[in-house]
Chains A and B, each alone.
Chain A
């Protein structure tokens, strides 16, 4: 599986945008970029995924660099409920195995 690198932690203020970076310099042409998050004492939940183009859904936006070696998860207005560990994952193109790293712990200040 292609390796991803994320900052260990980030802080944000409530109602401000948050940009969570992820580096994946060894990504292959067919690897999708997935983001999951894990709220305290819960199982992970899917946030968004993309291949080449930027993607938007009701939870977040995903901005993918032109060379695909990095991506950024964007939370447009952080809420206290967004405090979680965010994981950037590249599942193998031949299957659905998710390899979780340590992710980024996002703290949202009121």
Chain B
């Protein structure tokens, strides 16, 4: 079974530039998550999709971050404009459904460096 795919794996940009990350979840998984992990901290949920609808985006900085999930499959996360504090690993995860017992499968992450 193929895992969660993410690209790019690494990205270096200057502050105020824009960047986009792509995620392809495990086939058949209805729920998709984007997490931000700053060095030395645990991952923090940014946004959660159930199919192509947003379930939870309470911690997404909406003035600069946006995300969409096209046709309930792939997803993109965009930052525009980037700030220095956005330097982090961005993790995508998926799960079969939306329940307290569902295992989340994580991708390898995209490491973003903002200079």
Contact = CB atoms under 8 A, between A and B. Distances in A.
A associates with B: yes
B24 interface: no
Given A98-B45, A102-B42, A103-B42, A43 B95 contact: no
Nearest to B56: A97
Given A96-B48, A98-B45, A100-B42, A91 B100 contact: yes
Interface stretch (A9-17, A44-52, A63-71, A73-81): A44-52
Interface stretch (B12-20, B61-69, B70-78, B103-111): B103-111
B23 to A, nearest CB: 11
Contacts, number: 62
Given A95-B55, A95-B98, A97-B56, A46 B44 contact: no
Given A43-B108, A96-B31, A96-B95, A87 B100 contact: no
A93 B106 contact: no
B42 A43 contact: no
B40 to A, nearest CB: 8
Contacts of A42: 106, 108-109
A95 B100 contact: yes
Given A96-B31, A98-B45, A102-B42, A32 B100 contact: yes
Nearest to B40: A102
Interface in A2-27: none
Contacts of B33: 98
Interface of A: 30-32, 36, 42-46, 49, 85, 87, 91-103
11 contacts: A32-B101, A43-B91, A44-B93, A45-B106, A46-B105, A49-B101, A95-B48, A95-B55, A97-B45, A98-B45, A102-B42
